[in-house]
Amino acid sequence: MTMVDEAWGLEAKRVFYRYEVDETHKVLALAGVDFEVSQGEFVVVLGPNGSGKSTLAKHFNALLLPDDGDVWIFGMNTKDSESTWEIRRSAGMVFQNPDNQLVATVVEEDVAFGPENLGVKPQDIRELVANALEAVGMEAFNRHAPHHLSGGQKQRVAIAGILAMKPKCIILDEPTAMLDPAGREEVMKTIKGLNEEMGITIIHITHFMDEALYADRVIVMNEGQIVMQGTPKTVFGQSHIISQIGLDVPPVGKLSQELCLAGINIDPGALTVDELVDELCQLKSGI
């Protein structure tokens, strides 16, 4: 076992990764990615299709290993094969399609799957499963069949399955892509709660710009590189780069920017409805 320093988070150092399509043809998916995530951070990753988001995510739980450079997960190098299981336990992944992730016929069995695989004692598993389901607000569904749940509920069960392994970090690759608005909000609030209450590090990949507003930090990828990062405010403030690479500023952000252009004296970086309402309501007349 490698020693784990609690202060360490996730780190990618000059990571290059190529997919080998055939002998003559390789696709450069990551072109020198430098990226650090501190313990307890909530990071949202944006970027057009094919920009390397999923490839990067898979590096964080050792599903892929860098061709060049290194990836460190809580102090463990992903190239060190002795650490692979510990890395996968501490940085779990949730994917897009909830139906492909749930395997058991009963919710609690599905959640128990991970700890069982880790060889946890049955009596301890019960408690892990109960706690995990409670953390995602699905305890009342423990005896239900997963296929009868809504999309948002299925994703919460998938998240519980990871929580049952006591991870430090959860990496979610477009977990909301197939959900309706209520399901999306359900999943976003769940992961925000896990981040705030349990200190779990979150890396959330999405095409929904409004989901970036949950983040401490937003990373924008394009063509295998990180092209921008910062708070949602700084990132969406650079609207020319955002639109250049095909992304969008969320509607309220766009409205704030347009109002500023029209000469209204408000913060052009207001991104949420409540922020903009407050900005507008403090404007004084007749000066």
Ligand X SMILES: Nc1ncnc2c1ncn2[C@@H]1O[C@H](COP(=O)(O)OP(=O)(O)O)[C@@H](O)[C@H]1O
How many CB atoms are located within 10 Å of the residue 206 CB? 23
Residue closer to other proteins, measured from CB, 199 or 246: 246
Residue closer to other proteins, measured from CB, 7 or 287: 287
The reply to whether 29 sits near ligand X by the rule CB under 6 A is yes
Contacts for 256 with CB less than 8 Å, ≥ 6 apart: 266, 267, 268, 269, 270, 271, 276, 279
Residue closer to ligand X, measured from CB, 163 or 171: 171
Which residues here bind Mg ion, judged by CB under 5 A?
53-54
Using the contact rule CB under 6 A, the part of the chain among 50-58, 90-98, 151-159, 272-280 near ligand X is: 50-58
Residue closer to other proteins, measured from CB, 65 or 255: 255
Rounded to a whole number of angstroms, the minimum distance from the CB of residue 210 to ligand X is 19
Which of 154, 140, 220 has the alpha carbon at shortest distance from 184?
154
The reply to whether 54 sits near ligand X by the rule CB under 6 A is yes
Residue closer to other proteins, measured from CB, 112 or 218: 218
Q: Look up residue 63 and give its two tokens.
A: 């599903």
CA 48 to chain centre: 16
The reply to whether 66 sits near ligand X by the rule CB under 6 A is no
Rounded to a whole number of angstroms, the minimum distance from the CB of residue 53 to Mg ion is 5
Rounded to a whole number of angstroms, the minimum distance from the CB of residue 57 to ligand X is 8
Q: Look up residue 97 and give its two tokens.
A: 């399609």
How many CB atoms are located within 10 Å of the residue 145 CB? 13
262 binds, among Mg ion, ligand X, other proteins, none (CB under 5 to 8 A by kind): other proteins
Site string for ligand X, 2-21 (x = CB under 6 A): -----------------x-x
Contact 16, 223 (CB under 8 A): no
Strand order in the sheet with 10-22: 25-37, 10-22, 68-73, 76-77
Rounded to a whole number of angstroms, the minimum distance from the CB of residue 124 to ligand X is 36
Residue closer to Mg ion, measured from CB, 71 or 172: 172
Q: Look up residue 207 and give its two tokens.
A: 């095409």
- In sequence order, what E strands does 95-224 have? 169-173, 201-205, 217-222
Which of 214, 210, 204, 111 has the alpha carbon at shortest distance from 156?
111
The reply to whether 273 sits near ligand X by the rule CB under 6 A is no
The residues of the shown chain that bind ligand X, judged by CB under 6 A, are: 19, 21, 27, 29, 47, 49-55
